[in-house]
Amino acid sequence: DIVICNGEDLTFYGEISQQVFDVAARWTLQIEKMGLDEIFLDLTELVDERLAAIELGKAAFPAVGLLYPEREVPIKNASMQIDCTHGWEKLDSQDHCWVRLSLASSICEEIRMAILDEVGLTSSAGISVSKLLSKLVASWKKPSAQTIFWPTADRLGHLLPDNLPIQKIPGIGFSMTQRCNDLGIKTILDLSVASDPASG
């Protein structure tokens, strides 16, 4: 016999989820909803707008949140002094990245505070240069904080160590894990070797 049970009514959760989405959408329409409790925001255009409004010269770029992996070291109001006197194009890639992540962290804080004020929910967030890296650090300091991942080589090695099982990577589920295991790919190191054309 088949027994049919009514599932849990998630209407209320769906309504709250939509409220959070609507608040975030005031900052950007580049938004992707993942289930009831997770959204991805692409702040690239908004960061570009704020960057264009900054006068060139020596400026401090404050970042808001925690800097991975220094988990217990808040960087709220911490700044990196960057000399833009000779133009944005004269900055190296690390300075570019820091400025953009700093601006994105400020925007993210604005959004999280609006969600708290208007919906009454705390939230955590990850801020980085890609969805994957942002997702990996988003839960670093739940339930009410944000973490910035500045992708330097040493931090990447800490976040994605060679011995990390591939199923820990967001988007790699049970079936993909099984397929990779069948190919002898079980860790990040295995995956990087298999992805390297020079490895044969």
Q: Which residues are catalytic?
A: 38
How far CA 35 is from CA of 13, 14, 42, 50, 174, in Å, comes to 11, 9, 17, 30, 18
Hunting for tokens 């490895």 — which residue is that? 199
Sort strands 78-83 and 66-67 into parallel, antiparallel or unpaired: unpaired
Other beta carbons within 10 angstroms of residue 49's beta carbon come to: 11
Hunting for tokens 């955590």 — which residue is that? 124
